[in-house]
Amino acid sequence: MIPSSNPEFPAPEFRPSLDRPLFLLLTFAALCLPVVAGAGEQPDPRQLLAEMAEAAHQLNYDGIFVYRRDNGMYSMRIIHRHDGNGERERLVSLTGKPREILRDNEKVTCIMPGEHSLLVARRRPHRSLTQMFSSSLDRVARNYRFVLVGKDWVAQRPTYVIDLRPVGPFRFARRLWIDEEKKLLLRSSVSNRHGRLLEEILFTEIRYPQEIPDELLAPSIQGESYSWQTLATAPSGAGSEAEPWQVTWLPDGFEREHTEVYEDNGKKAVAHMVFGDGLATISVFIEKLDEGEPPMRGFTSVGAVTAYGRVADGYQILTIGAVPPMALRLVNESVRRR
């Protein structure tokens, strides 16, 4: 043990009488804490984040991760391939109801065998498990401070630990664990301003194969007997449901990223706007309520993601995002017709 140089805080003495199981438990707990990087050996956190963003797209990887939230834990397998044809990805649930998500350059397909349902949507700008940033790091850096905390281990691989500390009250804090060698994001957590953990995703197994065969990216079922649902972009002038709306208030640093009107299985036009700060996003959905259709009002949350709904002039206005609930409410109540 390193002696203390401060006389007010002398080095603790070794006590032979310390209960051995307790001593071993405390020792194990200490070993599980991130190791703080010493002076002169700290890489630039911004450069690590840039390499992480690149690795998420360029690497082949096959792993199992767990998603923890609201006292629940869910396990999934993710397989990602990058080659001359672009990116392909498959996620398979290992706990709970069977589900699969397939992504390629053009579309996202969600397969729900338990419900004999299959949902197909055009691929929109998104961030999957390992793809966090929607814009340049310059923009993200205006809204978060990047702090290298130290080093740790995830899935038996050494990682750098970086905190993304939010600027302002309308964002959550995040901690990232980045593979030292491959620079892939192996663990992430989201906490509120009081330090309460809201959700966490971490790999328990990870491999980086040179090649990933097509069969690992193919769905486990073909879906011939399934009910197909398609989200398609609505035609121009799709009716009163598609009339333009505007959001008149956003948290500082949030900008419009994406806007579209799509048809829900060809039945109803839904306006969808996405606003982001480069990391967090707020989605706004607006649709005409059918007669007798129950609306959603108030808050509901799952992990770090909260939804807030209200009704205005017969329209359901819904805001969803991994941001503090007050931000969602303020954005929602600022929605107006042009």
Kindly indicate the confidence band of residue 109, based on its pLDDT and cuts at 50, 70 and 90.
Answer: confident
Strands (E), 7-156: 61-69, 72-83, 86-93, 100-103, 107-112, 117-122, 144-154
pTM: 0.82
Give residue-wise pLDDT tens across range 219-259.
887 655 555 555 555 444 444 444 579 999 999 999 999 88
Kindly indicate the confidence band of residue 338, based on its pLDDT and cuts at 50, 70 and 90.
Answer: confident
Q: Which of 6-10, 64-68, 101-105, 274-278 has the lowest mean pLDDT?
A: 6-10
Q: Is pLDDT of 103 > 60?
A: yes
Higher local confidence (pLDDT), 223 or 181? 181
CATH number of 45-217: 2.50.20.10
Q: Is pLDDT of 325 > 80?
A: yes
Please give the helix or strand (H or E) that residue 24 lies within, else none: helix 20-31
DSSP string, 200-224: EEEEEEEE--S---GGGGS-S---T
> For the chain, what percent of residues have pLDDT higher than 90?
61
Kindly indicate the confidence band of residue 129, based on its pLDDT and cuts at 50, 70 and 90.
Answer: low
DSSP string, 311-327: EETTEEEEEEESS-HHH
Average pLDDT (111-126) is: 62
CATH class of 234-337: alpha beta
Q: Is pLDDT of 270 > 70?
A: yes
Amino acid sitting at position 316: Q
Average pLDDT (9-19) is: 39
Distance CA 241, CA 243 (A): 6
Average per-residue pLDDT for the chain = 83
160-195 in b/e form (b: 16+ CB < 10 A) is bbbbbebeeebbbbbbbbbbeebbbbbbbbbbeeee
DSSP state of 113: G
List the domain boundaries for the chain: 45-217, 234-337
**pLDDT (0 to 100) of residue 52:** 95
Q: Which of 186-195, 238-247, 270-279 has the lowest mean pLDDT?
A: 238-247
Task: List the one residue out of 140, 137, 103 whose CA is nearest residue 120.
Answer: 103
